[in-house]
């Protein structure tokens, strides 16, 4: 049985399904009138966008032509000598920018499609399962039509036993001291980590106590990363740890701190050290009016269910405080000349994968950056900081990852979400929301014909999928659950502790071949199980898509002293897709105090 406590995990499965796209054959095409894509005559594969205002990753260029061929930019500049038969798109009145690069995400199956749909063509993942990252690697190394953003990742995170990063359900190889650093880093390099991410977090900024690596170990991991030719970035939440990470030789910091303001002298020290910072203001200033305006301006049909859910969710208590301090720290770092990289930390509460990059641009401008600077932070600066080649610029030989936006972004970067068309590797992106929030046409594996999930005759096992523990420790809580199998039944004991807005503790069954991989149970009608317990009310939670951030839909039941059969109809869960199941959790949600219940003979019928 795993010791990790989690409600959500990251899917390890990737689905790529081709999209049908109309190829223009006219030598001159009209300016698109709406972000409708192919039916408006927007070309792909081999074409040119002519007479457009282009942001090349560093500066705005007026009256540019951009020639795309074989998935790459063949030429870019003014008044190119284009073949007569090359399809063309008149770019007047529009701005063409490189595909956006989100410098801080946490990825799962559907998030790559969500990112691409909003013009984020590359994501820099700061912690995920190495197997998932490996499965994504072929897509970024091949030029061709796809349905998701390219993923580069740190893979497994360096953290202490029971430290931050161990609570998400993905196995983490922790470190206990500096003597383990070299071997740990070598293992990450073999797994394919593109850089190393280190957690230097004790929870003090949030009135919590979290086991953390000590400074000596952090320094050893950074040194070992550099010895292996890998950059090292550090998760911090205080100015003190940020300064220490800089002194240890970190290449970047993947959050700005919000416990205190940085002095002008210290800001200059960061600049002199040439360390970059990914502020992730989106996750710290989710209540900013400009962000709320962005969401209200976005057609709800463009958002997947998981994007809507994470955008609406919020961190509890102190985890959501300090946004103004974070903004001011970014302002001071920028004034000192520190390199700033745009990143959202999506899909954490208050963010949405893809869409939040447009909010991050607005927040960076609020923190003092000009429109050009903000766009550079989301394109070329991000690509350079993490060593991601052929992305983040409109330049000869680079991948044709392009976003055409209506209006003048040099004048107003808040228009960045008014997207006319997106090209990934030169192919037009279908922006429709696919099943369960995936990319266009994304498919979900069908459930096995077997209806019995578990009878616990063979321990804490399932007929398919797997069981694990789930608690509110994911959201900073301290509730606990302890499962055990006795007499052919699953016994769950634990305690609901005060703290988070939505406390919970119990067990979760994940039906997919990988954690939190959605499975299609179409044709099934109900969840049936036997239960008994201490007489209190419990809940069945249904996670119908990956990575929910707020409370998932639930149906309650009572675990009375005697065994009783419970049947919960899938239609009773308040969700649009109850037949798509990524997880079923049997949990106590309140009141505060100890609990004990048993479940047996779990079926999805």
Same domain? For 519 and 593 the reply is: yes
Name 83's Cβ contacts closer than 8 Å, sequence gap at least 6: none
Is residue 85 included in any domain, yes or no? Answer: no
With tokens 């789930």, the residue in question is 470
214 domain residue, yes or no: no
Q: Is residue 328 part of a domain?
A: yes
313/334 Cα distance (integer angstroms): 30
Give me the number of domains the chain comprises: 2
Q: Which pairs from 492-496 meet CB under 8 Å and 24+ separation?
A: 492/586, 492/595, 492/596, 492/597, 492/598, 492/599, 493/594, 493/595, 493/596, 494/588, 494/594, 494/595, 495/593, 495/594, 495/595, 496/588, 496/589, 496/590, 496/591, 496/592, 496/593, 496/594, 496/595
Tokens matching residue 574: 């308040």
Distance between CA 113 and CA 443 in Å, rounded?
A: 12
pLDDT, one tens digit per residue, over 43-63 is 888 999 999 999 999 999 999
Same domain, 426 and 487: no
Domain shared by 301 and 258, yes or no = yes
Residues of the chain with pLDDT under 50: 1-39, 436-441, 546-550
H or E stretch covering 333: helix 323-336
Would you say residue 347 lies in a domain? yes
Query: pTM here?
Result: 0.73
Same-domain status, 422 and 501: no
Question: Do 325 and 261 meet the contact criterion of CB atoms below 8 Å apart?
Answer: yes
Q: Is the residue at 278 inside a domain?
A: yes
Residues 279 and 416 in one domain: yes
Q: Indicate the residue among 437, 465, 491 that finishes a domain.
A: 437
My answer on whether 478 and 527 are in the same domain is yes
Same domain flag for 332 and 454 = no
Inside any domain, residue 225 = no
CA distance 603 to 453: 5
Q: Which domain covers residue 388, as residue numbers?
A: 97-155+251-437
Query: Do residues 360 and 451 both lie within one domain?
Result: no
Which of 416, 437, 458 terminates a domain? The answer is: 437
341 and 456 share one domain: no
CB atoms within 10 A of CB 247: 12
CATH number of the domain that 124 lies in?
3.20.20
534 and 424 belong to one structural domain: no
Same domain, 480 and 500: yes
C-alpha dihedral sign at 466, 472, 474, 480? negative
**What pLDDT, on a 0 to 100 scale, did the predictor assign at position 434?**
62
The answer to whether residue 383 is domain-embedded is yes
Cα dihedral 330, 338, 111, 203 in deg (nearest 10): -60
Task: Report yes or no on 380 lying in a domain.
Answer: yes
> Could you give the CA distance from residue 444 to residue 305 in angstroms, rounded to a whole number?
15
**Which CATH number is 508's domain given?**
2.60.120.430
Q: What are phi and psi of 222, to 5 degrees?
A: -60, -45
What was the pLDDT predicted at 308?
A: 84
End residue of a domain, out of 419, 437, 455:
437
359 and 265 assigned to the same domain: yes
Site of tokens 């988070």:
500
């Amino acid at each position: 049985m795993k010791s990790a406590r989690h409600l959500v995990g990251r899917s390890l499965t990737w689905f790529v399904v081709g999209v049908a796209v109309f190829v223009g054959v006219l030598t001159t095409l009209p300016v698109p009138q709406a972000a409708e894509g192919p039916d408006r005559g927007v070309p792909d594969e081999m074409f040119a966008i002519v007479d457009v205002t282009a942001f090349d990753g560093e500066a705005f260029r007026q009256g540019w032509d951009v020639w795309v061929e074989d998935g790459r930019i063949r030429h870019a500049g003014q008044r190119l000598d284009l073949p007569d038969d090359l399809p063309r798109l008149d770019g007047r009145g529009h701005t063409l920018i490189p595909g956006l690069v989100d410098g801080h995400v946490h990825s799962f199956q559907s998030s790559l499609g969500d990112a691409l749909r909003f013009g984020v063509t590359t994501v820099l993942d700061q912690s995920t399962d190495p197997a998932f990252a490996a499965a994504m690697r072929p897509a970024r190394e091949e030029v061709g039509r796809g349905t998701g953003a390219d993923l580069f990742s740190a893979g497994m995170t360096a953290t202490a036993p029971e430290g931050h990063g161990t609570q998400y359900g993905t196995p983490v190889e922790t470190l206990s001291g500096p003597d383990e650093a070299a071997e740990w880093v070598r293992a990450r390099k073999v797994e394919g980590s593109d850089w190393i991410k280190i957690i230097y977090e004790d929870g003090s900024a949030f009135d919590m106590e979290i086991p953390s690596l000590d400074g000596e170990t952090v320094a050893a991991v950074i040194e070992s990363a550099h010895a292996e030719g890998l950059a090292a970035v550090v998760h911090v939440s205080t100015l003190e740890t940020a300064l220490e990470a800089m002194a240890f030789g970190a290449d970047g910091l993947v959050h700005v701190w919000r416990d205190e303001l940085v002095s002008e002298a210290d800001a200059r020290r960061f600049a002199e050290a040439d360390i970059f910072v990914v502020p992730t203001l989106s996750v710290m200033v989710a209540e900013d009016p400009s962000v709320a305006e962005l969401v209200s301006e976005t057609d709800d049909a463009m958002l997947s269910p998981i994007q809507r859910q994470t955008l609406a969710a919020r961190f509890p208590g102190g985890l959501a405080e300090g946004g103004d301090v974070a903004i001011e720290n970014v302002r001071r770092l920028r004034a000192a000349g520190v390199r700033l990289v745009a990143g959202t930390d999506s899909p954490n509460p208050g963010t949405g994968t893809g869409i939040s990059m447009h909010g991050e641009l607005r927040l960076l401008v609020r923190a003092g950056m000009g429109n050009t600077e903000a766009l550079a932070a989301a394109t070329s600066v991000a690509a350079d900081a993490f060593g991601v080649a052929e992305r983040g610029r409109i330049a000869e030989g680079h991948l044709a990852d392009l976003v055409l936006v209506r209006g003048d972004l040099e004048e107003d970067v808040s228009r960045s979400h008014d997207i006319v068309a997106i090209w990934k590797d030169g192919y037009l992106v279908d922006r429709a929301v696919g099943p369960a929030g995936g990319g266009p046409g994304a498919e979900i594996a069908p459930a096995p014909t077997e209806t019995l999930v578990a009878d616990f005759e063979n321990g804490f096992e399932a007929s398919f999928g797997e069981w694990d523990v789930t608690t509110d420790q994911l959201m900073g809580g301290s509730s606990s659950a302890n499962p055990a199998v006795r007499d052919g039944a699953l016994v769950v004991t634990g305690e609901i502790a005060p703290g988070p807005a939505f406390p919970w503790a119990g067990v979760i069954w994940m039906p997919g071949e990988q954690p939190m991989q959605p499975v299609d149970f179409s044709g099934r009608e109900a969840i049936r199980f036997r239960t008994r317990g201490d007489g209190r009310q419990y809940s069945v939670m249904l996670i119908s898509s990956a990575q929910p951030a707020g409370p998932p839909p639930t149906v309650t039941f009572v675990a009375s002293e005697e065994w009783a059969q419970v049947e919960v109809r899938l239609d009773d869960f308040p969700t649009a897709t109850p037949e798509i199941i990524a997880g079923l959790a049997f949990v106590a949600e309140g009141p505060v105090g100890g609990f004990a219940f048993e479940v047996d003979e779990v079926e999805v019928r």
